[in-house]
């Protein structure tokens, strides 16, 4: 994928180096074939997911010298989002994101559609435009309990909160224009992911200008689903 570094600035390379250092296996070498399925600068944690996968995989190849708890602890040294991907698929993360609590949620059956414009956003720029007096006042624990008991396809739309969405729209008005169009396509939930620039939609949709949106050259659309992993196994497609 253009723009993805292949040197020590790549999180995968850094993840390998970290596990080798922590487990005393500095002499071990690995060949990595990175096939990017998740777009860059999308607010989806693609690079962080790659790094978590590398940590898990290398630990398996080395005979599991580290426990999962150790991998979780070490991941915080690489970045705030990596820890989440070492969960079982659903987690409550606090701090910078590196303090993780696995939670059990019935994801249920439902369609997840991701729409991304052909432009990225700088996370620092989004935070610079964040208006702290306009942050959501909803108790995150209440939201968490709602998701745990009902699942993402049954909670009300108001349960989905992303405080980075307004400043991202301020930085990139065309992203808000896309969001507004998607709101009229019949999806149950429409919300920007992370600091952008992808927007996820829950439910079937298909109304409004959906067919026109899918045909736009400046957008990419993915139809996917929620996945988790079993203890001792890594994530895999349901297909």
CATH, residue 59: 3.30.230.10
Q: Is residue 107 part of a domain?
A: no
pLDDT for 131: 95
Domain limit, last residue, from 50, 78, 102: 102
pLDDT for 5: 74
Q: Are residues 185 and 165 in the same domain?
A: yes
Q: Is residue 4 part of a domain?
A: no
Q: Is residue 75 part of a domain?
A: yes
Q: Are residues 83 and 118 in the same domain?
A: no
Q: Are residues 98 and 116 in the same domain?
A: no
Q: Are residues 97 and 117 in the same domain?
A: no
Q: Is residue 1 part of a domain?
A: no
pLDDT for 2: 62
Containing domain of residue 58, as a range? Answer: 11-102
Q: Are residues 41 and 68 in the same domain?
A: yes
Q: Is the dihedral angle over the CA atoms 184, 189, 194, 198 positive or is it negative? A: negative
Q: Are residues 74 and 141 in the same domain?
A: no
Q: Are residues 120 and 209 in the same domain?
A: yes
Task: Name, in order, each residue with C-beta under 8 angstroms of 120's C-beta and a sequence gap of 6 or more.
Answer: 40, 41, 42, 196, 197
CA distances from 26 to 10, 16, 31, 141, 215 (A): 18, 10, 15, 42, 49
Tokens for 155? 């909670």
Q: Are residues 117 and 90 in the same domain?
A: no
Q: Is residue 234 part of a domain?
A: no
Q: Is residue 3 part of a domain?
A: no
- Across the chain, which has 239 residues, the per-10-residue mean pLDDT values are 74 95 95 84 89 96 96 92 93 90 84 94 94 94 92 91 97 97 96 94 93 95 90 84
Q: Are residues 138 and 70 in the same domain?
A: no
Domain limit, last residue, from 102, 129, 149: 102
- In the chain, the number of structural domains is 2
CA distances from 232 to 32, 65, 89, 116 (A): 21, 14, 13, 33
Q: Is residue 239 part of a domain?
A: no
Q: Is residue 233 part of a domain?
A: no
Q: Are residues 77 and 127 in the same domain?
A: no
pLDDT for 6: 76
Map tokens 């996917």 to a residue.
224
Q: Are residues 180 and 83 in the same domain?
A: no
pLDDT for 220: 94
In angstroms, how far is the first alpha carbon of the chain from the final one?
Answer: 25
pTM of the model: 0.88
Domain limit, last residue, from 47, 82, 102: 102
pLDDT for 3: 65
Q: Quote the Cα angle for 92-149-179, to 5°.
A: 65
pLDDT for 144: 93
């Amino acid at each position: 994928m253009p723009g993805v570094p292949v040197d020590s600035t790549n999180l995968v390379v850094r993840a390998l180096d970290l596990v080798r250092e922590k487990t005393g296996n500095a002499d071990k070498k690995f060949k990595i074939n990175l096939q990017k399925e998740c777009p860059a600068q999308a607010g989806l944690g693609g690079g962080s997911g790659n790094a978590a996968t590398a940590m898990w995989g290398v630990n398996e190849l080395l005979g599991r010298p580290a426990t999962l708890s150790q991998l979780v602890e070490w991941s915080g040294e690489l970045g705030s989002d990596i820890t989440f991907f070492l969960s079982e698929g659903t987690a409550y993360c606090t701090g910078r994101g590196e303090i993780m609590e696995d939670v059990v949620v019935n994801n249920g059956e439902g369609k997840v559609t991701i729409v991304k414009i052909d432009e990225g956003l700088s996370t620092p720029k989004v935070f610079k435009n964040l208006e702290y007096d306009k942050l959501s006042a909803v108790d995150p624990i209440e939201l968490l309990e709602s998701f745990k008991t009902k699942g993402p396809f049954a909670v009300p739309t108001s349960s989905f909160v992303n405080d980075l969405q307004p400043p991202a729209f301020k930085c990139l008005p065309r992203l808000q224009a896309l969001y507004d169009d998607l709101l009229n396509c019949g999806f149950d939930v429409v919300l920007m992911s992370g600091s952008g620039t992808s927007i996820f939609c829950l439910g079937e949709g298909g109304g409004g200008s959906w067919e026109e949106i899918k045909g736009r050259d400046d957008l990419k659309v993915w139809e996917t689903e929620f996945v988790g992993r079993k203890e001792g196994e890594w994530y895999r497609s349901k297909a």
